[in-house]
Amino acid sequence: MRRLGILVSGRGSNFIAIADNITAGKLDAEIAIVISNRADALAISAAKQRGIPCHVIPSKGKDRVTHDAEVIAVLRNAKVDLVCLAGYMRLLSADFVRAFPGRILNIHPSLLPAFPGLDAQKQAFDAGVKMSGCTVHFVDDQLDHGQIILQKTVPLMPGDDVDALSARILEQEHIAYSEAIGMVLRGDVVDHTLEKK
Ligand code: GAR
């Protein structure tokens, strides 16, 4: 069974969707560890409730390289095959990216390369686009950047506000992430940018 390490900072709905898809037999993998950089992340209580191993590694007051080294050590100890960022609101150091080449994924609530960074749904809404969505991509050391694996489009509807749009995108995120993880674990897609380095 392939082992996932999931990195979170907050609510954890993408982590929960992955866990539920595994339980439902839609994704052939197991969650080896959930790691949060914040002790108050709801994702941590959700992991505990489900009996999934979890670990808090506070990032506050630490430089990026020191914090990342601690996270890498826990992921290696848990023998993960794939690292999934699920609302992990931190940029990874180059050391982190090199530690798991082609084996780190992220989900972002826009059609990248449009609207990277914070509040992507609000950025899309304010720009007046008619179509947005979500993207699962391989991670490099730039923010919300790297080879795209899968995207799901979501239309903006008349009368939408940012919350309605965010909820519609989140529904698709919960489907897209497990699909993309399955594609990578089966070897259907690989990170071709690694060949150029
Ligand atoms: C999700 O919408 C995810 O796409 C976004 O944070 C949210 C986390 O929600 N990630 C980013 O914006 C990454 N730049 P969750 O904690 O409920 O999964």
Answer yes or no: 108 catalytic: yes
Q: Is 120 in the pocket of ligand 1 (CB under 6 A)?
A: yes
Q: Is 14 in the pocket of ligand 1 (CB under 6 A)?
A: yes
Walk me through the domains of the chain, giving residue ranges and CATH numbers: 1-100 (3.40.50.170), 107-197 (3.40.50.170)
Ligand 1 atom with minimal separation from the 12 CA:
16
What would the pLDDT profile of 41-84 be if each residue is shown by its tens digit?
999 999 999 999 999 999 999 999 999 999 999 999 999 999 99
CA of 10 to the centre of ligand 1 (A): 8
Q: List the catalytic residue out of 108, 137, 145, 174.
A: 108
Those residues with Cβ within 8 angstroms of residue 58's Cβ, 6 or more apart along the chain or in another chain:
37, 38, 39
Residue 4 tokens, joined: 């996932």
148-155 sheet: strands from edge to edge: 54-56, 30-36, 3-8, 82-85, 104-108, 131-138, 148-155
CA of 107 to the centre of ligand 1 (A): 7
What would the pLDDT profile of 119-163 be if each residue is shown by its tens digit?
999 999 999 999 999 999 999 989 999 999 999 999 999 999 999
- Extract the runs of DSSP E, i.e. beta strands, from 21-123: 30-36, 54-56, 82-85, 104-108
Q: Is 107 in the pocket of ligand 1 (CB under 6 A)?
A: yes
Ligand 1 atom with minimal separation from the 13 CA:
17
pLDDT computed for residue 195 by the predictor: 81
- What's this model's pTM, rounded to 2 decimal places? 0.97
